[in-house]
Amino acid sequence: MRIATWNINSVRTREDRVRDFLRRSDVDVLCLQETKCTDAQFPDFSDTGYAQAHHGLHAFNGVAVLSRVGLDDPRHDLGQPGFAKDPFAPQEQEARALGAVCGGVEVWSLYTPNGREIADRHYTYKLDWLDAVRRYAAAGPTPLCLVGDMNIAPTDADVWDPAVFAGRTHVTPRERAALAALGDAGLTEATADLHGTWTYWDYQGGRFRRDEGMRIDLQFARGLTVERAWVDVGERRGKGASDHAPVIVDYTVDGTTGGHGA
């Protein structure tokens, strides 16, 4: 089974790019993050041969799953906390998680909160959100695949210059520990061998041209064996590209034979 994750940074702006990617990538499941639209505004990709599910509440966040191997039991609540700017207002869930069963594998598209600044309550929200993901995974099914923009670089090898990020979010020990705790829940990072291969380059400062990026788009799995993992860096090139590139993994479902498509 080939699974891809891609922070699309506005699916309506980049609908043609998604269509082109589906035509040429041969993915079985594509998970999108930061779609930036409501469910009613999400494009109809049914003509591509992919079933789709989307969870979006407004022009922020938003996650989707597109699958050509079945899409059953879509849901967006894995016990994650909510957030509101006003700490005394109801802390309602944001559109940051969407799961479905695709080809017998439970797949979740996740858009982890950014965290903003270490002193910001959004940072605590990020840690609590990741802990909810960990708890769900620990009690969840097998096979299971959690993918998405995790907004954390797992190691110093996953940022172009660790000194630039000193004292900032995405690289703090607490964030990295929260991410590593997914291993305690029985998951393995399927993309771990991609250290030093970036998945995100800021639009500012010519970061892509200078190859100054981060590896923050990740895949975690249980009950699946990784055959191959790579970043489609070409999707970051050209006019109108997202600031993230798709991350693709070929899996074999444990207990089956064969690679891609198994």
pLDDT per residue, tens digit, the chain (262 aa), is: 999 999 999 999 999 999 999 999 999 999 999 999 999 999 999 999 999 999 999 999 999 999 999 999 999 999 999 999 999 999 999 999 999 999 999 999 999 999 999 999 999 999 999 999 999 999 999 999 999 999 999 999 999 999 999 999 999 999 999 999 999 999 999 999 999 999 999 999 899 999 999 999 999 999 999 999 999 999 999 999 999 999 999 999 998 755 455 5
Does residue 244 carry a catalytic annotation?
A: yes
Q: Residue 59: its pLDDT value, please?
A: 92
- Among residues 139, 153, 73, which one has the least CA distance to residue 107? 73
Q: Which residue in 76, 244, 250, 251 is the catalytic one? A: 244
How many angstroms separate the first and last alpha carbons of the chain? 5
> What pLDDT does residue 257 have?
55
Q: Which one from 50, 54, 55, 111 is the annotated catalytic residue? A: 111
Within a domain: residue 239? yes
In a domain, residue 260? The reply is no
Catalytic (active site) residue 125: no
In a domain, 55, yes or no: yes
Residue 167 lies in a domain: yes
34: left (phi over 0), alpha (psi -120 to 50) or beta: left
Is residue 258 in some structural domain? no
Q: What is the pLDDT of residue 256?
A: 75
Q: What is the pLDDT of residue 121?
A: 97
Do the domain assignments include residue 163?
yes
In a domain, 78, yes or no: yes
| Active-site position among 123, 125, 149, 158 | 149
149 is catalytic: yes
* Domain at 171, CATH number: 3.60.10.10
pLDDT value, residue 258: 52
Evaluate whether residue 103 is within a structural domain: yes
| Predicted TM-score of the model (pTM) | 0.96
What's the number of domains the chain is made of? Answer: 1
Q: State which residues form the domain around 189.
A: 2-253
